C-alpha cells in the first residue's frame, strides 16, 4: 500500500512510480501517488484527530514518541539499509542519519520543557499570563538528501507539542518515508495524528496545493514546493496565518 491515512494503509489513486537504487539500478520501491482527493482526506483526518491528541497529557504523548525512538534503535540496521539503498549513501552515513533521528527525541523532550510552561507577570494596571498551545495540523514536506532526519526534526517536536502532522516525503525516497511511518504505526500513534501521502510531479503538486488547509507548513524540501502552495489563489489568504519554518542547509 502506498498511503497511510487515518490509521489505514491504502493504495494511491494517482500516477504510479518506482524508485531505483542509484548504485545498482535495482527497483527498491514502487507504488502509486495520492490524488488531490486523498490529500484532502489526509488533512481532514489530521484535523479530526487534533483535538483529542492535543488534550492528551504530555506524558502520554511523550511515551508514544519515546517508543518510536526505541523502535528506531531496534530497527537501526534495517532503516540504515533502506536509506542507503534509496540515496546511494555509504552505510556509515546512513547509520549516522538514523542515530540523529533517535537522538532528536530526547533533545525535543528537553526543548519542550524549556520553551513551554506558564508564566505570570505583574503589570502596573493588571497582570499578564503567557500560555502555550499547539498550532493544529502541520504539513511536513520531506527532502531526498536526508529523508529520515530532516522530516523527523519537524515531526517529533510537533507531535510532542500536541500537533498532528501530514507528511509528504520526497518522491525520490518513498521507501524511507514508508519505513519511518510504519515505525510510528508500531509505536501506537493514534489514527490521524500523522498521515503519509505523496504527490508526484508539478500537476500533482498544484492539485495538492488547492486542498491545503493546514495551520503550518514546515519546509524540509525544495523551495518550488512552497512557492506552488503559497501562490495558488485559494491559499493567498491562508498564507498570512501560516507559520513558516526555515532550514539552513
**What single string gives the DSSP state of each residue in 136-181?**
-EEEEE--SSSTTHHHHHHHHHHHHTT-EEEEE--TT-HHHHHHHH
CA distances from 207 to 3, 129, 225 (A): 17, 42, 12
Q: What is the pLDDT of residue 243?
A: 44
Going by the DSSP 8-state scheme, the letter that residue 248 receives in this structure is -
Half-sphere exposure in the Cβ direction for 56 (13 Å, CA) = 21
Mean of the per-residue pLDDT values of the chain: 84
Read off the pLDDT of residues 84-108 as tens digits, 9 standing for 90 and up: 999 999 999 999 999 999 999 999 9
Band the pLDDT of 206: cuts 50, 70, 90: low
Element (H, E) at 1: none
Q: What is the pLDDT of residue 199?
A: 56
Read off the pLDDT of residues 9-58 as tens digits, 9 standing for 90 and up: 999 988 888 899 999 999 999 988 888 888 889 989 999 999 999 999 99
Q: What is the pLDDT of residue 223?
A: 52
Measured at the CA of 149, the angle between CA 78 and CA 152, to 5 degrees, comes to 100
* Domain range list for the chain: 28-115+136-244
In whole angstroms, what is the distance from residue 106 CA to residue 157 CA?
A: 10
pTM to 2 decimal places: 0.85
Q: Of 64, 48, 243, 60, give the one whose Cα is nearest residue 164.
A: 48
In whole angstroms, what is the distance from residue 228 CA to residue 245 CA?
A: 16
CATH superfamily, domain 28-115+136-244, is: Aldehyde Dehydrogenase; Chain A, domain 1 (3.40.605.10)
Q: Of 146, 191, 188, give the one whose Cα is nearest residue 170.
A: 146
Q: How many CB atoms sit inside 10 A of residue 148's CB?
A: 25
Q: How many CB atoms sit inside 10 A of residue 128's CB?
A: 9
Band the pLDDT of 132: cuts 50, 70, 90: confident
Cβ-based neighbours of 127, under 8 Å, separated by 6 or more: 120, 121
Q: What is the pLDDT of residue 86?
A: 95
Amino acid at each position: 500500500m502506498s498511503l497511510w491515512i487515518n490509521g489505514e494503509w491504502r493504495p494511491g489513486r494517482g500516477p504510479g512510480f518506482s524508485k531505483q537504487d542509484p548504485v545498482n539500478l535495482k527497483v527498491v520501491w514502487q507504488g502509486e501517488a495520492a490524488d488531490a482527493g486523498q490529500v484532502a482526506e489526509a488533512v481532514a483526518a489530521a484535523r479530526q484527530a487534533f483535538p483529542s491528541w492535543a488534550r492528551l497529557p504530555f506524558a502520554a504523548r511523550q511515551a508514544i514518541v519515546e517508543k518510536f525512538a526505541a523502535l528506531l534503535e531496534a530497527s537501526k540496521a534495517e532503516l540504515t539499509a533502506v536509506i542507503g539503498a534509496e540515496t546511494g549513501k555509504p552505510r556509515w552515513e546512513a547509520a549516522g542519519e538514523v542515530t540523529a533521528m533517535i537522538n532528536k527525541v530526547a533533545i525535543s523532550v528537553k526543548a519542550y520543557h524549556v520553551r513551554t510552561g506558564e508564566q505570570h507577570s505583574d503589570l502596573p494596571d493588571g497582570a499578564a499570563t503567557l500560555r502555550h498551545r499547539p498550532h493544529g495540523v502541520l504539513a511536513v514536506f520531506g527532502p531526498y538528501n536526508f529523508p529520515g532526519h530532516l522530516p523527523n526534526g519537524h515531526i517529533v517536536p510537533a507531535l510532542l507539542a500536541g500537533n498532528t502532522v501530514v507528511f509528504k516525503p520526497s518522491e525520490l525516497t518513498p521507501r524511507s518515508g514508508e519505513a519511518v511511518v510504519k515505525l510510528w504505526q508500531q509505536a501506537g500513534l493514534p489514527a490521524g495524528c500523522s498521515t503519509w501521502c505523496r504527490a508526484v510531479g508539478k500537476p500533482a503538486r498544484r492539485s495538492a496545493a488547492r486542498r491545503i488547509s493546514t495551520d503550518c507548513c514546515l519546509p524540509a524540501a525544495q523551495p518550488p514546493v512552497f512557492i506552488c502552495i503559497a501562490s495558488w489563489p485559494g491559499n493567498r489568504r491562508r498564507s498570512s496565518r501560516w507559520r513558516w519554518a526555515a532550514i539552513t542547509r
